[in-house]
Chains A and B, each alone.
Chain A
Amino acid sequence: MSGIGRDLRTPLKRARGLGSAKDGTGHFLWQRVTAIAVVLAGIYLLGLLIGLSGADYDFARAIVSDPFNASVLLAFVVAAFWHAKLGLQVIIEDYIHAPLLAGIAHLANIFVCALAAIAGVLAVLRIATLGV
Chain B
Amino acid sequence: MAAPDSPASPRVRERPLSPHLQVYKRQVQMMTSITHRATGMVLAVGALAMVWGLGALAAGRGPWTEFVACVGSPLGKVVLFGFTWALAYHLINGIRHLVQDAGHGFAIPDFIRSSWISVIGSVVLVVLAWVVVLARWGQA
Q: Which residues of A line the B interface, CB within 8 A?
A: 32, 35-36, 39, 42, 46, 49-55, 57, 60-61, 64, 73, 77, 80-81, 84, 87-88, 91, 112-113, 116, 119-120, 122-124, 126-127
Contacts and interface: CB of A to CB of B under 8 A. Distances in A.
Interface of B: 37, 40-41, 43-44, 47-48, 50-51, 54-55, 57-58, 61, 64-65, 68, 71-72, 87, 91, 94-95, 97-98, 101, 129, 132-133, 136-137
B129 A46 contact: yes
A120 B54 contact: yes
A55 B72 contact: yes
Nearest to A51: B136
Max chain A C-beta neighbours (<10 A), residue from B50, B72, B133 = B50
A54 B58 CA distance: 17
Given A46-B129, A57-B65, A88 B57 contact: no
9 contacts: A42-B87, A50-B129, A52-B136, A53-B137, A77-B50, A80-B47, A84-B44, A87-B44, A123-B55
Contacts of B61: 57
Contact of B47 (A46, A54, A81, A124): A81
A50 B91 CA distance: 17
A57 B58 CA distance: 10
A53 B136 contact: yes
A14 to B, nearest CB: 28
B43 A126 contact: no
A110 to B, nearest CB: 13
B50 A120 contact: yes
B138 to A, nearest CB: 8
B40 A120 contact: no
Given A50-B132, A54-B137, A55-B72, 10 more contacts: A35-B97, A46-B129, A50-B129, A52-B136, A91-B37, A116-B47, A120-B50, A120-B51, A127-B54, A127-B57
Q: Classify the interface of chain A: helix, strand, loop or mixed.
A: helix
A46 B132 CA distance: 11
Given A88-B44, A91-B41, A123 B54 contact: yes
Given A35-B94, A55-B72, A84-B40, A50 B133 contact: yes
Nearest to B64: A57
B106 to A, nearest CB: 17
Task: Kindly name the residue among A39, A53, A87, A127 whose own CB sees the greatest number of chain B CB atoms within 10 A.
Answer: A87
A41 to B, nearest CB: 12
